[in-house]
Amino acid sequence: MMWRALLITLLALPLVAEAGKQCGNDQQLDPRVLMDNFLKQELVGQRPEQLISWENFKPAYKGSEYVYPINTPNLSADSMTVVKAWKLEKIEMRGNEAIARVEMFTLADVWRPKGTENDKFGRRVTEIGETFVEKYRMRKVDNCWYVIDPPKPVISFDTVLTSLESDLSEIKSLTWENITDEDRKAKSVLEKEVSLLIRLKNRYLGGV
């Protein structure tokens, strides 16, 4: 009987050890809190390490668009989804996995055609103007929830427009002695993107 008791004790050890692990970040204890904060960070184009943890195992293709490794998005170069508003509808729990359904009014899709990943001026802006539901995967590890391989960044219209206008203004302030061919190309691209975003603003946001 003693060996059986010992065996039961040994089998239980991994479970006790796992149960003893604690999440060191309060923001990751609840999947809803994690997703809410993750989206708020994306909307302003920032992802502070101390607030949210996420994982992106490898770059991925979604249709014809390239989803970049997850870092703080470069608003003048990376692919992204430009939104007017978003709402976290619900989270479907499946043990240590979860799916968050997020409703968002998408103004535009900023993307790169397949094969142009290394061309910093090669992205396209497509007007959308519709409401979609995006799904985000989450996983619980050591009592902490993580966002797993999310789609390309979702950024608010105001954040994107402010950033691009600032970049454009900086290039326009260059003197002819200092401006380079790359600056001229960037200026042309930024002017097109800013013009399109302002048109979307007038159409869907009432010009405010």
103 CB burial (10 A radius; 0-12, 13-18, 19+): middle
Tell me the angle at which helices 157-172 and 181-204 cross, rounded to the nearest 10 degrees: 150
The answer to whether 92 and 99 are in contact (CB under 8 A) is yes
Q: Residues 34-51: pLDDT tens digits? A: 898 888 888 887 765 555
Q: Residues 91-121: pLDDT tens digits? A: 999 999 999 999 999 999 988 777 666 677 7
- In the predicted model, is pLDDT for residue 15 greater than 70? no
173, 83, 135, 128: CA torsion to nearest 10: -100
Report the percentage of the chain scoring pLDDT > 70. 75
Q: HEC states along 70-122?
A: CCCCCCCCCCEEEEEEEEEEEEEEECCEEEEEEEEEEEEEEECCCCCCCCCCC
User: What's the rounded Cα separation, in Å, for the pair 166 and 160?
Assistant: 10
Coil, strand or helix at 18:
helix
